[in-house]
Structure 1
Amino acid sequence: MSPLPAIDVHAHVAVPEVDAFLEDQPGLARQRQVDAATLGPTSLRLNLQQMGDIGTKLTDLDLRLGAMDAARVDIQAVSAVPLPHAWADRDLAARIVAASNASVAAFCAKDPARLIPIGTVSLQHPDLAVGQLRSAVVDQGMRGVQISTSAGPGRELDDPRLAEFWAAAAQLDTAVLIHPWGCTLGERLNAYYLFNTVGNPAETALALSRVLFGGLLERHPTLRIWSAHGGGYLASYIVRADHAWAARADAHTTAEPPSALLRRTFVDSLVYTPGQLRHLVGVMGAGQVTLGSDYPFDMGVEDPVDRLEAAGLDAATTEAIRGGNAARLLGLARSGVDR
């Protein structure tokens, strides 16, 4: 029996249409100021250089397919580059999402056998986000949506105002992909690329912790939540959350401990080394880790399948991470991943 296709859940595409009409927006200028202060001048300069270097990889189909072939990846789930737009008002947010989702869908339609579109929503406007989610899944055939680690200042992922969004995601039986952008720790991260190496995993750990302790997965047991970069720092120290849950009334908010709830979520395999991947599988379970490359960024990897195989996991676990878990996450039929 031939193996399932290798499915990379973590890959990005640029959306020039959105970039063009955001360029003169005051909110974007303010976001860039915050990012620049958090990155620091050296990392900002290197980031700008990187975007110039990889720009064509973010838009060119042939380069992408060639990289996939070299990596032995059969299918990519493709989401927009995760730049935040929580500052956008309702009208602008609606334009951003409509243009982004149309662009991602059109790009993936160039090779629908190999590219799966992942949409976006304006989570800072929860009522809009519900409609955008339904449109992405029902009208555009997307297999999920990508969100940030919060819905903007003062609105975490467990905020009651997001209840209808999470209920809709559960009802539609679709994936929600959590992807960070930087960190709210601000200028404390302004050297050594701590913006990403500390900031991104810290933001993901915080977002997932709000999801777990907030009871979201107990209210919606079928909800499919995925997070980038191996779930950030949380999987490495979930035992501390379990201790708080057992020791303190203010943290005992769910019937199951945080580690059990974490194992209901999905993460990607982007943790770099064989030992770290084995640890991640031990924490999350063999059925909850998916392949992830973060194509085409420098904090990603060009050989996710090779790295998976280097971990020395048993054959069933390797096959699950290679493609079977992603097929479940994205609601793909197991027989040939028929879409």
Structure 2
Amino acid sequence: MTVENERTADARVTDVHAHLLLPSIQAAVEARVPELVAEAAALELKRNGAESAAVSGPMVGARIPKLTSVTERLAAMDQQGVEVQWVSASPNHFYPWAPEGLAVWAANEANRLVAEHVAEAPDRLVGLGLVPLQHPERIVECLDDAVLGRGLAGVEISSFAGDVELSDERLEPFWARVAELGCVIFLHPFGCSLDERLDRFYLANTVGQPTENAVALSHFIFAGVLDRHPKLKIIAAHGGGYLPFAIGRSDHAWAVRPEAQRCAEAPSTYLKKIWFDTVVHSPTSLRHLIEVAGADRVVLGSDFPFDMGLDDPVAFVQGAGLSAEVAQRILAGNAADLLTGKVQA
């Protein structure tokens, strides 16, 4: 057995996609700007539809203990066979509509609360903080607060916020600082810009989330962000959405359209420079993701503890028809390498 294989075999089973609810932040935001919270709630209802809202409320309510209690979290992890969880705030804490001062406060407060949560079980939990994506001029200081101030492994960002896409030139200092710190960026959408077109059949989630992942990653790739910052460690939730499954169209556009040639190489090349979680719900999809991105670029995820996640994420990977070595890399080795920096750019 090689040294690399020994390291992979010794690594612990790690779920990189697990959420934390922060009710104290939500209450404080509601108290400070009730009118903006009401507008955001109306937009969420418009996007999701009344029928889905009526289902989602009780679903989340039933999971609040797992979303807030370390004891409940650890018990669920033990049942799943997960040894380590990377904990990130539930995306409803992104507040993409928040004005600058409130957005910075909420991000820094989230960083504090995430750090406190994972400190209750530091051998089992790893924290990811937040940054105010819609305020690029304040994002680096919040990143530093998360990573340097709170000891978190990185931050979670949405697919877009306000007028800020991941291709926005104003994010260049952020990407440079992320690369300098060697921390992780977890890309997880919140909401979908298609709005009421997805307001029935739970399309806001089933179609909206993978659409947002694909759009955000396309902005990131086509803008050449990875050409300028090749050491970035980006993990895309939900297997990167639709992009890995239609990447040939992106390559074709890059070959024939001059406006699509802002990146140095064909877009499919960059899939091997990004990491993707396993929340794809199909063994066939997981095997395809491994084929296009590489076995070293896929990491275990569950979307814990929501109903659209994987209740038994370890069994999902083990039952996908993968070799034992590939399965072990996905379950444990790749995430361990991300944290220790033992990855290839």
TM-score, normalised to structure 1's length?
0.95
User: Are 2:80 and 1:71 aligned?
Assistant: yes
Whole-angstrom distance in 1 between the partners of 2:321 and 2:173: 42
Matched residue, 1:166: 175
User: Are 2:133 and 1:123 aligned?
Assistant: yes
- What is the DSSP-based 3-state SS (H/G/I as helix, E as strand, rest coil) of the residue aligned with 2:309? coil
- What do residues 132-181 of structure 1 show as CA deviations (whole Å, max 9, x unaligned)? 1112111211111000001x222211101111111110111111111011
Whole-angstrom distance in 1 between the partners of 2:44 and 2:341: 37
Give the Å deviation of 1:127: 2.4
Matched residue, 2:3: none
Match of 1:244 among 239, 247, 253: 253
- What is the DSSP-based 3-state SS (H/G/I as helix, E as strand, rest coil) of the residue aligned with 1:278? helix
Whole-angstrom distance in 2 between the partners of 1:60 and 1:215: 41
Whole-angstrom distance in 1 between the partners of 2:113 and 2:286: 33
Aligned-residue CA RMSD (Å): 1.4
Contact 1:143 1:331 in 2 (8 A): no
Letter in 2 for 1:5: R
Give the Å deviation of 1:78: 0.1
Give the Å deviation of 1:77: 0.2
Whole-angstrom distance in 1 between the partners of 2:340 and 2:140: 19
TM-score, normalised to structure 2's length?
0.94
Give the Å deviation of 1:112: 0.2
Give the percent of matched residue pairs that are identical in Structure 1 and Structure 2. 44
Letter in 2 for 1:231: G
Match of 1:89 among 99, 107, 112: 99
User: Are 2:57 and 1:32 aligned?
Assistant: no
When residues 153 and 90 of structure 1 are mapped into structure 2, their CA distance, relative to the original with a 3 A threshold, is: closer
Letter in 1 for 2:233: R
Give the Å deviation of 1:82: 0.7
- What do residues 45-99 of structure 1 show as CA deviations (whole Å, max 9, x unaligned)? 1111112111111011121111111111000000010113121112111210121
Moved more, 190-199 or 317-326: 317-326
- What is the DSSP-based 3-state SS (H/G/I as helix, E as strand, rest coil) of the residue aligned with 2:164? coil
User: Are 2:113 and 1:103 aligned?
Assistant: yes
Whole-angstrom distance in 1 between the partners of 2:234 and 2:38: 31
- What is the DSSP-based 3-state SS (H/G/I as helix, E as strand, rest coil) of the residue aligned with 1:23? helix
Match of 1:18 among 25, 28, 37: 25
Matched residue, 2:12: 5
Matched residue, 1:182: 191
Whole-angstrom distance in 2 between the partners of 1:218 and 1:162: 14
Contact 2:97 2:162 in 1 (8 A): no
1:148-167 → structure 2 map (5 Å cutoff): 148-150=158-160, 152-167=161-176
Give the Å deviation of 1:329: 2.4
- What is the DSSP-based 3-state SS (H/G/I as helix, E as strand, rest coil) of the residue aligned with 2:281? coil
Contact 1:177 1:226 in 2 (8 A): yes
Give ranges in structure 2 of 5+ residues lacking alignment.
Answer: 1-5
Contact 2:111 2:145 in 1 (8 A): no
- What is the DSSP-based 3-state SS (H/G/I as helix, E as strand, rest coil) of the residue aligned with 1:10? strand
Whole-angstrom distance in 1 between the partners of 2:290 and 2:342: 23
Letter in 2 for 1:32: A
Whole-angstrom distance in 1 between the partners of 2:299 and 2:284: 16
- What is the DSSP-based 3-state SS (H/G/I as helix, E as strand, rest coil) of the residue aligned with 1:206? helix
Give the Å deviation of 1:333: 7.4
- What is the DSSP-based 3-state SS (H/G/I as helix, E as strand, rest coil) of the residue aligned with 1:330? helix
Name the structure where helix makes up a greater proportion of residues.
Answer: 2
Whole-angstrom distance in 2 between the partners of 1:269 and 1:35: 26
Matched residue, 1:279: 288
Contact 2:154 2:184 in 1 (8 A): yes
Moved more, 21-30 or 50-59: 21-30
Whole-angstrom distance in 1 between the partners of 2:264 and 2:139: 29
Contact 2:11 2:336 in 1 (8 A): no
- What do residues 99-128 of structure 1 show as CA deviations (whole Å, max 9, x unaligned)? 111111001000000000100001111122
